[in-house]
Structure 1
Amino acid sequence: MQGEANPAASDRHAGRTEGGSVASVLVALAREHVREFWHTPEAEPKPYATIACCTHHEHWPIGSRSFKQWLRKQYWDSEGKAANSQSMTDAIEMLTGMAIFEGNACSVALRVAEHGGAIFVDLCDDEWRAVRISASGWEVVTHPPVRFIRRRGMERLPCPQRGGHIDEFRCFLNVDTDSDWMLVKAWLVAALSPRGPFPLLQLSGEQGTGKSSACRLLRTLVDPSQSLIRAAPREERDLLIAANNSWVIAFDNLSGMPGWLSDAMCRLATGGGFAARQLYTDDEEVIFSCQRPAVINGIGEAASRPDLVDRCLVITLAPIPESERTTETELWRRFRQAQPRIQGGLLDLLAKALARRDTVQLPHLPRMADFAVWSTAALGEEFLSVYDANRESAVEDVLEGDILAGAVRELVTRNEVWSGTASELHDILSGMVPENMLRRREWPKSANVLSGRLRRLAPALRRVGVQVQWERDSTTSRTRMIRIATSQKSVGNLSSEPSESSGADGIASIERPTSVQVNIGPSEAEARFVEIADGTDDSDDLFVAPQSDHWEEI
């Protein structure tokens, strides 16, 4: 009868529970059936258990729902009755201590990892197989040496097939030019690299250009999930949770990006730590550090800050004529048929990158140098020129939409070299900008805000021939000065914090230009800082920096 105790287990139950608690029996069962208890190597380690299944091993966090369900099942099979909640809690605490204090310290991996000079990609199938990629090729392995973990929502990759080519994927994306297609391939190759930096792929275009479908397809090829794309996070915590549970981050239909999210995406691309106060504590933090590949899409270009744009691959999609449209059902049917061959072609590129990575010699190293070397190894020397052109175009677009950058560029066209205090610069530039622009929140309202904005814009301005330097004058007052010059007038090392001994280099007092009205009209880029339309109703979502008093451990 359903719910009746297992008669075959009654004798075992009488013997094993005599003189021992239910929690002790649970611990004994776990020690009997678990292959290994271990922990991660962080300062605050997380406990794990490796379970031996029929043909493979699975790695589960101790305390997770899956491990608890497995342990309850072991107790029922052995003792013929259910374990109570308190006994389960006690047993989990004891097993956690065993894993942390008696087990080995081992790293865990999510979807992609490196081991012994090879790359391993978790297929997330029921047999827990992975693909091993080396300089000599790739193969599917049953017992990968990497301890992969699975997050809820992760889906399986198909078993790759040999003989395919990555170019078979192009017909599923609305990518017109060969240069844009090369950038897409570079992003895919980087997304399956175990180490960053990872460029942010930004797809933009009007309605009906296939932006969302492209994001879904790209993620399916690397890190399929039950939720392939999602709305932009409302706070930094949401971004951390997404990065903790997925290898690829994909945000859909962004109309803009607030400052805190732009900074967080920079850290996500090139690596950086996130920290917040731990739940129910006053003096402890939750520390989270990671790098993740990411792809976003929107009608406009959501990434508008120069420091993030410099980490982007920016691709604009053209409208799809109605005669060339197809249904999503048909698109995905054809893609699923071709995916194993496309997957194999992508793995071939990874093997090529591993074989050539150490021999690549670039004429110059761009901002994302490791990404440039990796992509050049996979795609050939022509990649660097395509990448440079994309970065230059993206930075120019950002500067054209920035009111302050436009005013600074106009200033140096009238004065090849300008030097003065931040207050003097603020007064002069304010006189050059139309009155309606001064009331916008993007315009710096004070000298110190202007100086901070200039520091952020300085690398982008330098790329277009405008150099900005902070220095001390040679007088006894040692006043901090801002010096702006065209690239023809060298200003030496342009670090954001110049040495205190740098002087005016013989520049005489410069006559300040009179107030000049510059035609710097409103642009689409300006509106992106103010409101972010959610695309679902008539209201607007305002992004606010996180102010939560509590933080749940991720």
Structure 2
Amino acid sequence: MEEIEKLRQITQLAGPGYSELKRRDGKKAYFAADGEITDNVIRAHLDGSQPIGINMNVGDDKSHFAVFDLDDHDGKYESGVMRKRLGYIAAALHQMGIPYFAVRSGGGRGYHLWIAFENAARMDTVRGRMRDVLETANRILGQSPWAHEKFVPDDGQGKGMFHDTEQVWKRSGRPDRPDITKIEHHVELLPKGGKRPVVALPLALKSIVLTPTQIDDTGAMQFVEGGEIVLRKAQPQKTGPKGSQRTKAVDLDAALQAFMKARPGGGYKGWSDAGFNIFGAFGEDGPEHWLTYSKETDGFVSEKDVLDKWADIAKAGTCGPEPFWAYARAGGYAGGLPDDVQLGRKGDQAKVILDDVVNSLKLFRDPDGTAYARVGPRRIMRIDSIEFADWLRRTAYASGVTPSQEQINLVVGIARAHAYETVEDVYLRVARKDGIIYVDLCDADDRILVISADGIDLIDGDDESPVVFRRSRQLPIEVATGSLQDIRSMVNMDDDQFVVFMACAVKMFFPDTPSPIVNLIGEYGSAKTSTTRVLRSLIDPVSAMVAPGSDRADDVLIRAWHNYVLTLENMSDLTKLSDTLCGITTGMGFEVRQLFTNGDLFSIWVRRPVIVNGIDPSKYAADLISRMVEIELEKPEKRMLESEFEQQLAESAPRMFMGAVGLVVEVLKVLPKIDPHEFAENVRLAEFGAIGEATARVLGKEPGWFIDMMVEAQDIAQDEAADDSATMQALESFQEPVARRGKFWGTPQELLLELQQSAEMIGLNVSRLPMTAATLSRELNQLKPSLRKRGWEVDKKSRKWRLVPPPEISADEIAAM
């Protein structure tokens, strides 16, 4: 099947129809056959039942192929002599950088040397270029023990000939013209012209592939029998320039030196990528160049390591020849280029280097569709980011070229398209996988801290990591021996509140579960902003630890995308952000406009811890209140200057981080003993409740202390919010008339009208009530827990509300209280 596919690559470049080899009148000849070359035709060719030849003329006298046909003329020449002659033509092609493959002919005694072109060219142009190959072969012959032989100009039929016999074949009859000597026509150059020039398709009968190995001492290419056809295409050129305009010769040594200058191969990946470039330029002939290059790099150990790596490169190598020569040009190489390399147009060099850089990267997308490129062992960048475009510019400039913005945009677009073929999870700062917590330290060594119930470990930058991190504005986390006392000395609160504070800090190490909204409250001067910075520094230090908030949902979402911990400072009102913050802490996807100039949407999924301060939760919806954890701060006896706090925080941060990490390790040991399902009915964030309960037990609290505290705080906040609700106040004034009727049963609109009347009776501003029936229904849903706690029966059925007020308390019942 593989041989069929290899031959299919050849036949796809052939002209229409084909020819069948048949014996007639005692001679073998090719006879035209119409139709397509199907897999069955190729099978018959391969098994020898019906060998075929292809039509080299694709139309307009153009061809994709040139073939040197070496014929032994019925055994007139020894096999070794024929192989040597083949070797000199192959050596010339090798020196000129023209790709080729060689096969033994079907008769078993001749050879065919094939050259394929990317674009079809006129057959006379192809023959002219191949005559240049014979001239190069003659120069090689002139320096070899075979200098007495040469390839001579053709006779107008495109034939290259070996050996001028110097025997007179025809007298000229004129004194001004020499006699014509006899030439042995045993090296033919195909196509020779005509409407349907034919060449035998390889691998039929006795035809086998010849694999080139090395240039021998005489200058000829050596071959071994066996291998597979490797079809690499050359770019056709017109007949070479004449006289002083002749193209510069290819200088491989100078090119390699210039390549090493532009691509010094820093690090294992840079060295490996350079190997692919060398393989693309020289193919199987590249080991010597690869070894020369490797010996100049800092990481060279032994020739064996280099050659072992070359074997891996040769198996996977897909790089073309252009990158090597583009780097060589960038390194100052001024010699000629191989025929299959086109770098003549302005910008070609920069574009080829950019393409090579991108092709060497691992490209992938996350489940949201955001495309990334891995630019280092641990460094990834969003492909659409300015950061990645700037990285491309720096990398190209380091190789000696300066790409244009248009070239950058083109390469970025191609990279983005390729990235969609692979999907990987991408994390910011913290990841949890299979129960193990990973923290990106974001340091220069790209280290990752691993936290488990067994302790901590470090993954160095060159080692494999099971998780992929992206970075935005994160600062490095330094590591030093520390304890919880380092954290305790930086915050002002009582011991119980410190337990809650540390529960929130530990939860930040668990990114895979919903997080609470941490609300730091306290009187003026209680260091709410400073405490926010302390809490955030435990896991996600950034340059702007606390930034002013915004009431625009898109602004908050973009900040959540770039920051692992979202802090909102100086926010007097969260009403407009209530739904957004609930989504951010629980985890959900959002779509925002990517640019104002187009309609593209930027899809993101975030789950982030949120820290606010000084917020009164009573005026917000129950959904937000149930996610909020209040930590009350105390006013310090002596206020610390800002500069003093900055210095102390910087000095304490490494110790505080490791103090928190040590607590996380202990919590991981206790956490399996706590089942969040046991209190999920009473606590909105049950998984946070389990983490908090484990934290409290590690810090010496009795089992159940943290859950009881959460339930009590949640009930108080909901009651305060209900007391502040105009709808609740109207319902309480509405209680007596409803009690006389027994119940209210009606539509939301009917209920709204009656509540408005009750509000007017008690002097309540009607404008504070919901403006529409739909808004009223949503608020009643949020007030249900508080209403039921106060004795109301509240249900909605068939789009109607049923309200039954609590029974009146008798005097005896009051006395019994």
- Which TM bucket (shorter chain)? 0.7 to 0.9
The reply on whether 1:335 has 2:653 as its aligned counterpart is: no
1:298 corresponds in structure 2 to 614
**Alpha-carbon displacement from aligned partner over 1:311-352 (angstroms, at most 9, x marks no partner):** 1002333444xx422212222323333322221121122223
Amino acid at match of 1:384: I
**Alpha-carbon displacement from aligned partner over 1:91-145 (angstroms, at most 9, x marks no partner):** 22223333333xx321111011123321111111111112111121112321433
Matches within 5 A, 1:461-480: 461-462=787-788, 465-472=791-798, 480=800
Q: Which moved more, 1:239-248 or 1:409-418?
A: 409-418
1:353 corresponds in structure 2 to 667
User: What is the aligned counterpart of 1:156 among 476, 487, 490?
Assistant: 476
Amino acid at match of 2:679: H
1:541 corresponds in structure 2 to none
Matches within 5 A, 1:440-459: 441-459=767-785
1:400 corresponds in structure 2 to 723
SS state of the match for residue 444, structure 2?
coil
2:713 corresponds in structure 1 to 390
Change (3 A) 1:276 1:57: closer
Root-mean-square deviation (Å) = 3.2
**Alpha-carbon displacement from aligned partner over 1:381-436 (angstroms, at most 9, x marks no partner):** 32111211221222122122222223435655897773332455445544443679
The reply on whether 1:28 has 2:356 as its aligned counterpart is: yes
Matches within 5 A, 1:227-376: 227-258=544-575, 260-276=576-592, 279=595, 285-298=601-614, 300-301=616-617, 304-320=620-636, 323-361=637-675, 363-365=678-680, 366-376=683-693
The reply on whether 1:67 has 2:400 as its aligned counterpart is: no
2:331 corresponds in structure 1 to 9
CA positional deviation for 1:465: 5.0
1:200 corresponds in structure 2 to 517
Matches within 5 A, 1:47-126: 47-52=371-376, 56-78=377-399, 80-101=400-421, 104-126=422-444
Return the alpha-carbon distance in structure 1 between the equivalents of residues 470 and 402 of structure 2. Answer: 28
**Alpha-carbon displacement from aligned partner over 1:250-295 (angstroms, at most 9, x marks no partner):** 011221222x311111111212332356647998644332211001
CA contact (8 A) 2:537 2:653 kept: no
CA contact (8 A) 1:166 1:346 kept: yes
Return the alpha-carbon distance in structure 2 between the equivalents of residues 294 and 230 of structure 1. Answer: 13
Return the alpha-carbon distance in structure 2 between the equivalents of residues 109 and 14 of structure 1. Answer: 48
Return the alpha-carbon distance in structure 2 between the equivalents of residues 96 and 457 of structure 1. Answer: 49
CA contact (8 A) 1:37 1:98 kept: yes
Q: Which moved more, 1:407-416 or 1:344-353?
A: 407-416
CA contact (8 A) 1:216 1:229 kept: yes
Change (3 A) 1:57 1:318: closer
Change (3 A) 1:317 1:414: farther
Amino acid at match of 1:67: F
SS state of the match for residue 420, structure 1?
strand
User: What is the aligned counterpart of 1:420 among 745, 750, 753?
Assistant: 745
CA contact (8 A) 2:618 2:720 kept: no
Aligned residues: 462
1:18 corresponds in structure 2 to 343
Matches within 5 A, 1:127-138: 127-138=445-456
Q: Which has the higher contact order (CA 8 A, sep 6+)?
A: 1
Matches within 5 A, 1:485-524: 485-486=805-806
CA contact (8 A) 1:407 1:429 kept: yes
CA contact (8 A) 1:269 1:292 kept: yes
1:168 corresponds in structure 2 to 486
CA contact (8 A) 2:756 2:766 kept: no
Amino acid at match of 1:288: I
Amino acid at match of 1:47: A
**TM-score computed with the length of structure 1 as normaliser:** 0.75
Amino acid at match of 1:31: N
Return the alpha-carbon distance in structure 1 between the equivalents of residues 565 and 427 of structure 2. Answer: 13
**TM-score computed with the length of structure 2 as normaliser:** 0.52
SS state of the match for residue 57, structure 1?
coil
Return the alpha-carbon distance in structure 2 between the equivalents of residues 449 and 299 of structure 1. Answer: 24
SS state of the match for residue 231, structure 1?
coil
SS state of the match for residue 474, structure 2?
coil
CA positional deviation for 1:453: 1.9
CA contact (8 A) 2:723 2:729 kept: yes
Q: Which moved more, 1:451-460 or 1:391-400?
A: 451-460
CA positional deviation for 1:482: 2.3
Change (3 A) 1:25 1:426: closer
Q: Which moved more, 1:217-226 or 1:351-360?
A: 351-360
**Alpha-carbon displacement from aligned partner over 1:345-389 (angstroms, at most 9, x marks no partner):** 211222233333332135422211111122223332321112112
CA positional deviation for 1:157: 1.6
CA contact (8 A) 1:277 1:286 kept: yes
Return the alpha-carbon distance in structure 2 between the equivalents of residues 431 and 18 of structure 1. Answer: 84
SS state of the match for residue 547, structure 2?
coil
Change (3 A) 1:461 1:209: farther
2:506 corresponds in structure 1 to 189
SS state of the match for residue 222, structure 1?
coil
CA contact (8 A) 2:365 2:423 kept: yes
Return the alpha-carbon distance in structure 1 between the equivalents of residues 593 and 715 of structure 2. Answer: 40
CA positional deviation for 1:167: 4.4
SS state of the match for residue 428, structure 2?
coil
Q: Give the structure with higher Rg (CA).
A: 2
Return the alpha-carbon distance in structure 2 between the equivalents of residues 442 and 133 of structure 1. Answer: 51
Amino acid at match of 1:419: F
CA contact (8 A) 1:179 1:386 kept: no
**Alpha-carbon displacement from aligned partner over 1:128-176 (angstroms, at most 9, x marks no partner):** 112111121112321433211111x321222142xx3334312322223
Runs of 5+ unmatched residues, structure 1: 473-478, 490-554
Change (3 A) 1:440 1:314: farther
